[in-house]
Amino acid sequence: MNFIQVQGFILTAQHNSFATAAKELGVYQQNLTVYMRKMEDELGVSLFTSDKRGTQLTNKGKELLPLFETIASTYNTVLNKCQNKDTLKIGIDSIFYQPFICDYVFGYQKEFPESNTEFVSSGRYWELPERLKNGEIDLYFGYYRDDLDSLMFHEMFLDSVCIAYGKKLFKNKKTVSLKDLEGLNIYYDNENLYKNKVLLSALDKKHINYNGVSGQADSIIDLHVINGEGVMIIHGYYISTLSPHENAIPVRGLKVPYGIFYRKNDFSVQNFIRYINM
């Protein structure tokens, strides 16, 4: 049994999918399947079963999972010590920083006191993907983007998409529907996190016209929304509740994934993600 088999077992258990686990490991799915079968033969037990829900652990697999996680944790500790990589660097941006991120990090430090974490701040959230690719940070929290397929993404939850709207629209409404947006001028920051096919295709299906505008979100709201008849797609609910713009409400049925971005084969992040999944 080798370490890639250990990682393959843990990731398949996390995602209930050989395909997703293989992508995260950077190997072909058929190769990972072979690795798992060889490990089952070596151990003399069945670890996985498949059904409509995907690939599931057998009872024996569930029993062994904590032991495999201990092996992976020990391996990562040894590797980090040898590489002098004792600190998990978490990228944050000063504009959209979320308090619950702190809760996760402090909880992780309490659960794993031997681990060190460091926040690396960036005043511009669009710089975080490049800083991650360059190895300046190990992970960052954010909304899913289709243009970052070179990075791994661990979904934490689906967040409601919100809009900022002018004072003449949607008075006293707590939510709006896609139908409410028909006929309005829809704007979004084309430097924003909304490089998201799910979001934009939802607007396309309703034949809702939208316009990408370069510039800071606040200036777009001021120019195109508050003084006009349009609305602007802004960040999800968690973000919009911190927005200085008072007229921000969620769109029913329109959600985007929020989670953690990290590099392929970066196993130093795995303990942190396992803690979040607990």
Q: Please give the pLDDT value at position 175.
A: 87
Q: Please give the pLDDT value at position 57.
A: 92
Q: Please give the pLDDT value at position 190.
A: 60
Residue 64 reports pLDDT greater than 90: yes
Average confidence (pLDDT) over 33-51 = 90
Structure tokens, 110: 């309490």
| Rounded CA separation 97/123 (Å) | 10
Neighbours of 119 (CB within 10 A): 13
Domain 158-255's class? alpha beta
pTM of the model as a whole: 0.64
| Rounded CA separation 24/267 (Å) | 10
Find the range with the poorest average confidence among 31-35, 42-46, 148-152: 148-152
The CATH number of domain 87-156, selected from 3.40.50.1100, 3.40.190.10, 3.40.640.10, 3.30.2320.80: 3.40.190.10
Where helices occur in the chain by DSSP H, the ranges are 3-15, 18-25, 29-43, 59-82, 99-111, 128-133, 178-181, 197-205, 217-220, 237-240, 270-277
Stretch(es) of the chain classified as CATH 3.40.190.10: 87-156, 158-255
- CB-count burial class (<10 Å; 0-12, 13-18, 19+) for 207: exposed
Q: What is the pLDDT of residues 88-125, one digit of tens each?
A: 888 876 555 567 787 888 888 887 777 788 888 765 66
Q: Please give the pLDDT value at position 193.
A: 46
pLDDT band at 79 (very low <50, low <70, confident <90, very high): low
Stretch(es) of the chain classified as CATH 1.10.10.10: 3-84
Residues 16, 261, 238: CA angle, nearest 5 degrees: 95
- Second-level CATH architecture of 3-84: Orthogonal Bundle (1.10)
Average confidence (pLDDT) over 203-219 = 70
Average confidence (pLDDT) over 12-34 = 85
Per-position b or e across 87-112, b if 16+ CB within 10 A of its CB: ebbbbbbebbebeeeeebbeebeeeb
Place of tokens 């899913």: 144
Q: What is the pLDDT of residues 186-198, one digit of tens each?
A: 877 665 545 667 6
Find the range with the poorest average confidence among 122-126, 172-176, 214-218: 214-218
Residue 84 reports pLDDT greater than 70: no
What mean pLDDT, rounded, does the chain reach? 78
Residue 80 reports pLDDT greater than 80: no
Residue 247 reports pLDDT greater than 60: yes
Q: How far is CA 66 from the centre of its chain?
A: 24
Those residues whose C-beta lies under 8 Å from the C-beta of residue 30, and which sit 6 or more positions away, are: none
Q: What is the pLDDT of residues 123-154, one digit of tens each?
A: 566 788 888 988 889 998 888 877 787 888 88
Structure tokens, 50: 């498949």
Residue 67 reports pLDDT greater than 80: yes
Q: Please give the pLDDT value at position 9.
A: 92
Neighbours of 48 (CB within 10 A): 20
What whole-number percentage of the chain has pLDDT above 70? 76
| Rounded CA separation 16/14 (Å) | 6
Helix, strand, coil abundance in the chain, percent, nearest 5: 45, 25, 30
Place of tokens 């392929």: 264
Q: Is beta strand 87-93 parallel, antiparallel or unpaired with respect to 231-236?
A: unpaired
Residue 239 reports pLDDT greater than 70: no
Q: Please give the pLDDT value at position 244.
A: 47
Query: CB–CB of 243/4 below 8 Å?
Result: no
